[in-house]
Chain A
Amino acid sequence: MSPEISFDITFVWAGVIAFTVIMYVLLDGFDLGLGVLFPWLRDERQRDTAMNSVAPIWDFNETWLVLGGAGLFGAFPLAYATLLPAFYLPLLIMLIALVFRGVAFEFRFKVDKHKPFWSGSFFLGSFFATFAQGMVLGSFVQGVPVENRQYAGGAFDWLTPFSLATGAALVAGYALLGATWLVAKTSGALQGWAKGVAMRLLLAVLAFMAVVSLWVPLMDATIAERWFSWPNLLYLSPVPLLVAATAGALWLELRRPSPRRYRPFFLAMGMFLLGFLGLAISLWPNLIPPEISIYEAAAPRSSQVFLLVGMLALLPVLLAYVAYTYWVFRGPVAEDEGYHH
């Protein structure tokens, strides 16, 4: 096969993986964020409403995480085989946390007396899963040492000031998504509260984005060069400018006495997309920073082709599922819309 063609399919695969990660972050992000906000809701009744707004879709949202893992395994086995051992402990935290928050959806409605316990489980699970994901992201950006196709670092390499910062940043980010979701899906006191929280979270997210955007180029000269050399500066300047514009629009929308339901949510998602784009620009073409590119990590062509056929055929079906499910459960969730299945 000619190198051009294999270049293309690997590139497409990198795009598919990126798409999967974005879908996961945007979709599971808001229901994780909801869990992060849980302790600040007024009572178990408000928590019921919040939980019911995501109960039919959370499992679906989390499936994108499995798809991302499996996609990496199939299309870039080297990345799967080196990144996962590198992040062994934070992934352990994430998985255990996801277990405790996932079962809370079912268990919380089973016995009234146990409700506060499973609310706590849902909060802690959501918080630690998010924080662990943020730390994995941060230490991924910092780079993973690889020798002989295996991870060559220590068990705690992921624990750095930078990864702690990205962990906190992601908590704020998911919470912002969760708060704007509540603005879209609830009414009355809960919606009013969510609006106020979303405004404060927006300020926190902007601060974190600024800190991380300055910290990364300071850590890595290559990334600094990519962003700040001329004429890249000119081509890439729309990214931070768009972040500012989106944040401004979100702020103004939240300040309206009666914000439009879905607009804050979509604007918050827009901020995530721009952050993701910035990250991709910084890391390209590496899949395992600092030096292994997507081409070096790629699976044999026969694996990539076999997978891509199914992926391209089925992704539209998956998106149709997404659209249909969200359509069925559209509109604000009623206070008494219970968990009686």
Chain B
Amino acid sequence: MELDALLLSRIQFAFVVSFHILFPAFTIGLASWLWMLEAMWLWTGRAIYRQLFRFWVKLFAVSFGMGVVSGIIMSYQFGTNWSRFSDIAGPVVGPLMQYEVLTAFFMEAAFLGIMLFGWSRVGNALHFVATSMVALGTVLSTFWIISTNSWMQTPVGFAMEDGRFVPVDWWQIVFNPSFPNRLAHMVLAAYLTTCFVVAGVSAWHIWKRKAPDHARLAFSMAMWFAAIVAPMQIVAGDLNGLTVLEHQPTKLAAIEGHWETRAGAPLILFAVPDAAEERNAYELAIPKLGSLILVHDPNGVVRGLKEWPREDRPPVLIPFFSFRIMVAIGFAMLFVGWMSLWLRRKGRLYDSRWFLLLCMALTPSGFIAVLTGWATAEVGRQPWVVYGHLRTADAVSPIPVESVATSLTAFFLAYMAIFGAGTYYMLRLIAGGPDLATPWEAPTPRATRADQRPKRPLSALDERPDSPESPEPAR
């Protein structure tokens, strides 16, 4: 394969977008987690929630900062490297991204300042509004970005004029066929990513006996969440697969590793697909299960890649393997979630060493699942950038290969430096654990004020308006 501007631009886009998605995937969930903690604090008045908030908000700030700067780079990629796409598809894609900025970015950015720096200036109620707005903003942002990307997967609601996409029905465009399932899948993915970071970090704190009460509370909350949301995510993923089957049959065939169209297709668990020979090596498959899952009939017909000319097929290796990695992680998350129910029942949730170790090992699992899931979605869409309508090769900018090589190198070096430093600082924050020494300056919630304290005898003990913090008694 020749290293031309097209290939380098594709590598660059894959690199910057993969790097970027790590931070939103974490901050979307983290914003909601912080919202939950603050809400619990305001509701119960227990200092432990606020101390957890102050611990996690530091990680949030670092991650959000890196998400912002890598996101600014993303917003320029379409124009700098994919200018033909921008010109041809801009009338549809541009407004959707503009709506993301208008509805989400400003809200996040405005209230982030108050959330991070303004607590003592605005008081509890407005601070909670700010935290809520930041959390809402991250979800709105997901809404528009997934809508945009879903339109590129399942484009509808437009007419072609002079070789360009002209929007006809915005409702159809925004709520295109693959959008609802993919939105659910992505939001749940972000939540699970954060859930397993919270679980892993808390498991480590329990292990190291660092602020163990705080760690147990966070671990417990994460495990409840995993037990409920991991199965929901598997259902969402399955629904997503059915949309792909209907609208993007070439992607589905690549994911499944199906070359031949046949009735009673097997479910291929493992294989090494060979695009040149149009067959799989080392195939391990369960007969008829593929048809059963996909068309809900053991003898149903499933189309294989050979139905399409070679130039219309996606590469098979990446979607095939990345999909399997994602699914394996999904089931590992389900196992952890349901296992936690069993351990909780037996009263061993916090002291099963193997389980704590497993949770620590799964700390980065959500990120890997998000990356492999997106690799499946994006590589599986090839050779199209707008499925069935605009080829990736016809979308690239007329820029010299040297320019793209320069930018790719620069982005790579800059991201390594920033990512390295950011990871280092986040690990330091994690190692430090919750800060229980710094006194609380902002007002305490109504429930803990002197005049109302007796109503909540348990919570009143752990927080007095002007006294230093005392750790919670163990539950």
Chain A residues in contact with chain B, CB under 8 A?
Answer: 55-57, 59-60, 62-63, 65-67, 69-75, 77-78, 80-85, 88-89, 91-92, 95-96, 98-100, 102-103, 105-107, 110-111, 149-152, 154-155, 299-300, 302-303, 306-307, 310-311, 314, 317-318, 321-322, 324-325, 328-329, 340-341
Tell me if B421 and A77 are in contact (CB < 8 A).
Answer: no
B170 neighbours in A (Cβ, 8 Å): 302, 306
Q: Which of B57, B73, B106, B118 contacts A95 (CB 8 A)?
A: B73
Determine if A85 and B399 form an interchain contact, defined as CB atoms under 8 angstroms apart. Answer: yes
CB <8 Å contact, A60 and B113: yes
By the criterion CB–CB under 8 Å, are B113 and A102 in contact? no
Report the separation of the CA atoms of residues A340 and B68 in the bound assembly, to the nearest whole angstrom: 20
- In whole angstroms, how far apart are the Cα atoms of A89 and B80 in the complex? 9
Per a CB cutoff under 8 Å, which of B68, B84, B121 touches A81? B84
Contact (Cβ within 8 A) B73 A99: yes
Query: Does B465 make an interface contact (CB < 8 A)?
Result: no
Known: A59-B68, A155-B403. 6 other contacts (CB 8 A): A110-B428, A111-B425, A150-B84, A154-B400, A299-B91, A325-B113
Given A66-B101, A77-B94, A306-B167, also A103-B114 (CB < 8 A)? no
User: Residue A74 contacts which of B58, B97, B103, B438 (CB distance < 8 angstroms)?
Assistant: B97
A-contacting 9-mer, from B186-194, B407-415, B450-458? B407-415
Q: Is the interface of B mostly helix, strand, loop or mixed?
A: helix
- B463 at interface, CB cutoff 8 A: no
User: Smallest Cβ distance from B35 to chain A, in angstroms?
Assistant: 16
Query: Do residues A77 and B90 form an inter-chain contact, with CB atoms below 8 A?
Result: yes
Whether A85 touches B61, Cβ cut-off 8 Å, given contacts A62-B68, A310-B99, is no
- B83-116 Cβ-contact flags toward A at 8 Å (1 or 0): 1101100111111111111110111011111101
A161 to chain B, nearest CB (A): 22
8 closest residue pairs by CB, A with B = A77-B90, A84-B79, A74-B94, A56-B113, A73-B94, A321-B110, A81-B87, A81-B83
Tell me, yes or no, whether B402 is within 8 Å of chain A by CB: yes
Please indicate the chain B residues that have their CB under 8 angstroms from the CB of A302 in the complex. Answer: 91, 166-168, 170
Q: Knowing A57-B113, A321-B106 touch, does A151 contact B83 (C-beta < 8 A)?
A: yes
Task: Report whether B75 and A103 are in contact in the complex, using a CB–CB cutoff of 8 Å.
Answer: no
Task: Please pick, from A103, A110, A151, A321, the residue contacting B69 in the complex, using a CB distance under 8 A.
Answer: A103
Residue in B81, B87, B107 with the greatest tally of chain A CB atoms within 10 Å: B87
In the complex with contacts A303-B92, A325-B114, A88-B403 CB distance below 8 A: yes
Counting CB contacts under 8 A, is B71 at the interface? yes
Report the minimum CB–CB distance from B433 to chain A (whole Å).
Answer: 15
Residue picked from A89, A106, A154, most chain B C-beta under 10 Å: A106
Chain B proximity of A12: nearest CB distance (Å): 14
Q: Which residues of B contact A (CB under 8 A)?
A: 54, 57-58, 61-62, 65-66, 68-73, 75-76, 78-81, 83-84, 86-87, 90-103, 105-107, 109-114, 116-118, 121-122, 161, 164, 166-168, 170, 397-400, 402-403, 406-407, 410-411, 414, 418, 421-422, 425, 428-429, 438
When distances are taken between beta carbons in the complex, the residues of chain A under 8 Å from B87 are 77-78, 81-82, 149-150
Note all chain A residues with C-beta closer than 8 A to B92.
303
Contacts of B116 in A (CB 8 A): 56, 341
Complex: how many Å from CA A63 to CA B83? 22
Residue on B nearest A152 in the bound complex, by CB: B398
- Bound CA span A328–B121, Å: 7
Given known A80-B90, A341-B116, contact A70–B406 (CB-CB < 8 A): no
Look across to chain A and name the residue whose beta carbon is closest to the beta carbon of B97: A70
Residues on B with C-beta less than 8 A from A107 are 62, 421-422, 425
Set of chain B residues within 8 Å of A103, measured between Cβ atoms: 65-66, 69, 418, 421-422
15 contacts between A and B (CB under 8 A): A69-B75, A74-B94, A84-B86, A95-B72, A99-B72, A110-B428, A299-B91, A300-B164, A302-B91, A302-B166, A303-B95, A306-B95, A307-B94, A321-B106, A341-B54
